[in-house]
Amino acid sequence: MSHVPSIGGAIARKLQEDPYWKPFFDGFPPVRQWLASEKPDVAVVIYNDHGLNFFLDKMPTFAVGAAPEYRSTDEGWGIPTMPSFPGEQELSWHLIESLVGENFDITTCQEMVVDHAFTLPMALLWPDQKWPVKVVPVCINTVQFPLPSAARCYALGEAVGRAVRSWNSDARVLIMGTGGLSHQLDGERAGFINKDFDLRFLESLQHDPTWATNYSIKELVRQTGTQGVELVMWLAARAALGERVKKVHGNYHIPISNTASGVLALQTV
């Protein structure tokens, strides 16, 4: 799902029924109903950090949280902070060991704060902010070039899925990918949105999940905008689910703060 910072302001001002915001927020009740039925115990959240943990001088390609809890902090957007998120350290360390065992060079974070890319999707799924799940953050660099390729992000997601399935636990695990869809916040193409590409990408996640891996990062930026490249988090989350999925619910809406925004819920079959 999308994680545009202005969503946090809309939540704080209770604008869910405002004509501008309603088509976006209306996309989430069916997903909440599904989650209430499925009752996940853990959420593995694949997202990108916007400067709270990593900045341009130190930017890991992939990082995994292994902290007992993750605090929400003020980013300067005016988004209210949220209750801290309890970490699932056992799965974190199992995931870290599995990824390193599959030759992924990751940064292990035993202390970590989380920003809107993490907190807003969680608040959209559980508006009361009483988190019923423990969490494992998985961070992908989409900020500082060179970025990992779409194919490499897909491979990371596959490895995450293998690690989750090999975890010796009966816990039910939700995989979340946040960011995207097409948008560009600055430069000559500020406000750029590519609806046709977005819809093709959303369809591909159901029936042809490796479709976007045929594009280089530079081509994805051309197709979706500088920040639209965040769709690699959706791609990694889809890869973790395995080959066969069924669509539970989807919603696509433009614009939200000059951004194409969406949610897509898929279940393994």
Considering 3, 50, 94, 183, which one is annotated as catalytic?
A: 183
3-state secondary structure 59-108: CCCEEEECCCEEEECCCCCCCCCCCCEEECHHHHHHHHHHHHHCCCCCEE
Active site residue 249: no
Cross-strand bridge partners of residue 70: 85
In whole angstroms, what is the distance from residue 144 CA to residue 116 CA? 18
Report the 10 Å Cβ neighbour count for 190: 12
Q: Which residue has the tokens 């292994």?
A: 66
Start-end of H helices in the chain:
6-12, 22-25, 29-38, 89-101, 116-125, 150-166, 195-207, 217-224, 231-240
Angle at 209 between CA 120 and CA 263, to 5 degrees: 25
Name the amino acid, one letter, at 91. Answer: L
Considering 3, 50, 94, 116, which one is annotated as catalytic?
A: 116
Active site residue 183: yes
Query: What does the block give as tokens for 197?
Result: 């590409």
Q: Could you list the active site residues?
A: 116, 183
